[in-house]
């Protein structure tokens, strides 16, 4: 039996680390990338005996190309590439500075763009492969407005993923392209967000039950076993998306009442 290989970016914590541990437990070879060396090496040590930790910045195309080259040189092949690197923000649209905007777009969107342009040509040469982009439910529904440009970047990830999938559908049917949209997940994402995370207003409530990174990782594993175009990890998400697009105004009014604790005008 040939051991399969996965590349996982943003693997030093949170969802990426949980995915690494899950795939490692299944016996896969892993090439793990992140900017923080100490944290990355700790996750690598927890993810099995066939793990290559690579300190890299996914906002730099050269680093992404190096990640591909080192993974292939070490393991001989890549079966799954997971674009997971990302960072949050804790500022509303009108409070953002231009450097903050550029940073969040680079980490959440450009890193995925580079990953797609590096991984997919390799899959085309190989004739098969599975690209998975980790997005966010907030890229579909503006439930948390202080995530602002993070939400916008994730919305762009959603569109790029769908367009790539359609481009490959006829020419390379054995290359799978999937989008994963987590909801609220119990990680240090909020604490590490650029600008921090504002407190929830009095009377505010979250309409979602938070998931653990391990729950999301398990669903990503199932997605590899049974590929599909999109995966909402939180059971509440599909219905919320449907209601949002069915009547945006009514949904926003409902969310205003729920999150602020005040009646709508």
Catalytic residues: 150
Q: In what order do the strands lie in the sheet with 175-181?
A: 51-55, 29-34, 5-9, 80-83, 129-134, 175-181, 230-232
What H or E segment, with its residue span, contains residue 176? strand 175-181
Contacts of 91 (CB under 8 A, 6+ apart): 100, 146, 148, 194, 195
According to DSSP, the residues that pair with 5 across neighbouring strands are 29
> Buried b vs exposed e over 33-49: b needs ≥16 C-beta within 10 Å?
bbbeeeebbebbeebbe
Say how far apart CA 7 and CA 71 lie, in whole Å.
8
């Amino acid at each position: 039996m040939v051991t399969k290989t996965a590349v996982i970016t943003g693997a030093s914590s949170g969802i990426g680390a949980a995915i690494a541990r899950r795939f490692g437990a299944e016996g896969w070879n892993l090439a793990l990338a992140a900017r923080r060396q100490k944290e990355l090496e700790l996750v690598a040590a927890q993810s099995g005996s066939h793990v290559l930790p690579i300190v890299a910045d996914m906002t730099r195309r050269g680093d992404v190309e190096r990640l591909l080259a080192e993974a292939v040189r070490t393991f001989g092949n890549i079966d799954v590439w997971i674009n997971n690197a990302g960072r949050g923000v804790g500022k509303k649209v009108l409070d953002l500075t231009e450097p903050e905007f550029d940073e969040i777009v680079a980490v959440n969107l450009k890193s995925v763009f580079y990953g797609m342009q590096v991984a997919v040509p390799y899959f085309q040469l190989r004739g098969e492969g599975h690209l998975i982009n980790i997005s966010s439910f907030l890229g579909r529904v503006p439930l948390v407005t202080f995530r602002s440009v993070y939400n916008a970047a994730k919305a762009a990830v959603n569109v790029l993923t769908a367009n790539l999938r359609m481009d490959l559908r006829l020419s390379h049917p054995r290359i799978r392209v999937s989008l994963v949209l987590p909801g609220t997940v119990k990680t240090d994402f909020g604490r590490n967000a650029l600008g921090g995370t504002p407190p929830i207003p009095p009377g505010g409530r979250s309409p979602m039950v938070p998931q653990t990174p391990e729950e999301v990782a398990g669903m990503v594993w199932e997605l590899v076993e049974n590929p599909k175009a999109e995966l909402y990890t939180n059971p509440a998400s599909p219905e919320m998306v449907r209601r949002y697009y069915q009547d945006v105004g009514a949904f926003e009014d409902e969310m205003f009442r729920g999150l602020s604790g005040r009646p709508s005008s």
